[in-house]
Every structure is written in structure tokens, then in C-alpha cells.
């Protein structure tokens, strides 16, 4: 498969690390957008794909190269699947966001949740836009545990495991996370693309 460079349309370095490692295997060299440009795209969409498209288009226009955006979040069943697309806006930092979820779930037996990620890859040269999505089901822990990962990882226990993503570490997350699943679909599309280009 031929190698090519894609701008990662994001200011989140954790996401960048995870997706770079996943897509490196298929010859994609991701360039971290925030390291090159200063851009804050207002997320006015009402769904993950809509917000991912807004980000991919804006960064691709700025950089004049293909741009990949990730819009993601956590959805908690007992909270009516909130915070969802508002996950990064729930509170001002990661520990407060985790605390907010734990507080809202105090005394609740239903701890079911899922991570969702939507990817948008936009090619400004020919206007092609690819969308993929990934889910990862799990449960909300009773307290934050672990040092790995970022965001909600200290309170997210993926289905089939007894530890949080922050305890399980990069290797497990790279196989089963919402971002990994969205990447698998994108890898198939990229493989096809490099065959016809
Ligand atoms: P960009 O929009 O610049 O990419 P962001 O952090 O604002 O960065 P989102 O708007 O997509 O990204 O918000 C996603 C939020 O969902 C993120 O801030 C985390 O709090 C949470 N999240 C998403 N994926 C996660 C993961 O793998 N582990 C932990 N938390 C995650």
C-alpha cells in the first residue's frame, strides 16, 4: 500500500497518538494539526459525524491537504445516553468530568455505557469525504482508577474486562476501543483507495 500524509484535524494530542499508531500500519503518516496551525472549530453539529465533518473540512481548507477528524464521546444509559457529543463540554477538566458522571450515577445499579467515535476523512483535491464510526461498550466504574489513557478512561470498564481502560493500557485500547473500530473500517477504505489511485 502506498504511503500518504494526512493532517489530523484536532487539538487533542491523546487522540492523535492513538490514531497515529493505528493508521501507521497501513502507511498513513498523520501530522498533528495543532502542532502546525491554530484553529478552533465550533462544534455546532447535532451528531458525531456532523461535527467530524465540520472539523475535517475546516482543517483541510486551512492546510490544503487531506484531513482526518475524530468526534467522540461517552454515552451513559442511566443518563439518557448523555453526555454524548457534549462529553468534552461536561466540565472544565478530565477529573471534574469523571466526578460529574460518578456523582450523577451515585446509587445507580445501571452502569451501562459506550464510547462512540466518528471519523471524517476529507480529500480537498477531489471533494471525496469518507465517514466511519466505532463503538465500544462498557460499564462506569464506582471510582476513577488507573493512570493510562485520557479523559473518561479511569472510569470506563470495557465489556469483558474487570479493569478500566486507564488500568488496561494502550495495547488493549488499541485493539477494542471505539477509535480502533472506526480505524478498522477506514483501513479497508484506504486499502481500496490505494489500489485504484
Ligand atoms: P478535538 O475536537 O480538537 O479533536 P476534543 O477533545 O474537543 O478534541 P471531542 O470534541 O471529540 O474532542 O470530545 C471528545 C471528548 O470525549 C474528549 O474530550 C474526552 O473527554 C471524551 N473521549 C473521547 N474518546 C475518549 C477516549 O478514548 N478515552 C477517554 N475519553 C474520551
What is the pLDDT confidence band of residue 68, given thresholds at 50, 70 and 90?
very high
Mutate to test the pocket of ligand 1, among 13, 72, 134, 168 (most ligand atoms within 8 A of CB): 72
What is the pLDDT confidence band of residue 191, given thresholds at 50, 70 and 90?
confident
The pLDDT value given to residue 192? 79
Is 197 inside a domain boundary?
no
Query: Taking CB atoms and a 6 Å cutoff, what residues make up the pocket around ligand 1?
Result: 10-12, 15, 43, 70-74, 87-88, 97, 115, 149-153, 177, 179
Average pLDDT over every residue of 52-75: 98
Per-residue pLDDT at 90 exceeds 80: yes
Look up the CATH number of the domain holding residue 55: 3.90.950.10
pTM above 0.85, yes or no: yes
| Domain with 162 in it | 4-192
Per-residue pLDDT at 89 exceeds 80: yes
Going 177 to 93 to 9 to 131, the CA torsion angle's sign is positive
Counting the structural domains of the chain, the total is 1
Per-residue pLDDT at 190 exceeds 90: no
> What whole-number distance in Å separates Cα of residue 147 and Cα of residue 170?
11
Task: Give the largest CA-CA distance in the chain.
Answer: 56
What is the pLDDT confidence band of residue 48, given thresholds at 50, 70 and 90?
very high
Are 80 and 110 in contact, with CB atoms under 8 Å apart? no
Are 186 and 119 in contact, with CB atoms under 8 Å apart? yes
Is 122 inside a domain boundary?
yes
The pLDDT value given to residue 193? 73
> What whole-number distance in Å separates Cα of residue 197 and Cα of residue 192?
9
Q: Which of the residues are catalytic?
A: 71
CA-wise closest residue to 100 among 114, 88, 118: 88
Per-residue pLDDT of 95-106, as tens digits, reads 999 999 999 999
For ligand 1, atom 31: residue with the closest CA:
151
Is 69 inside a domain boundary?
yes
Amino acid at each position: 500500500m502506498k504511503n500518504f500524509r494526512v493532517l489530523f484535524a484536532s487539538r487533542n494530542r491523546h487522540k492523535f497518538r492513538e490514531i497515529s499508531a493505528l493508521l501507521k500500519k497501513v502507511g498513513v503518516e498523520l501530522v498533528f494539526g495543532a502542532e502546525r496551525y491554530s484553529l478552533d472549530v465550533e462544534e455546532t453539529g447535532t451528531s458525531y459525524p456532523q461535527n467530524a465533518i465540520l472539523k475535517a473540512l475546516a482543517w483541510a481548507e486551512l492546510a490544503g491537504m487531506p484531513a482526518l477528524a475524530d468526534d467522540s464521546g461517552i454515552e451513559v444509559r442511566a443518563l439518557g445516553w448523555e453526555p454524548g457529543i457534549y462529553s468534552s463540554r461536561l466540565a472544565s477538566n478530565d477529573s471534574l468530568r469523571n466526578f460529574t458522571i460518578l456523582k450523577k450515577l451515585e446509587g445507580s445499579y445501571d452502569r451501562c455505557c459506550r464510547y462512540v467515535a466518528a471519523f471524517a476523512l476529507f480529500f480537498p483535491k477531489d471533494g471525496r469525504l469518507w465517514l466511519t464510526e466505532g463503538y465500544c461498550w462498557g460499564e462506569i466504574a464506582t471510582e476513577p482508577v488507573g493512570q493510562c489513557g485520557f479523559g473518561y478512561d479511569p472510569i470506563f470498564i470495557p465489556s469483558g474486562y474487570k479493569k478500566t481502560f486507564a488500568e488496561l493500557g494502550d495495547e488493549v485500547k488499541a485493539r477494542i476501543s471505539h477509535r480502533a473500530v472506526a480505524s478498522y473500517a477506514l483501513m479497508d477504505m484506504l486499502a481500496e483507495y490505494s489500489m485504484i489511485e
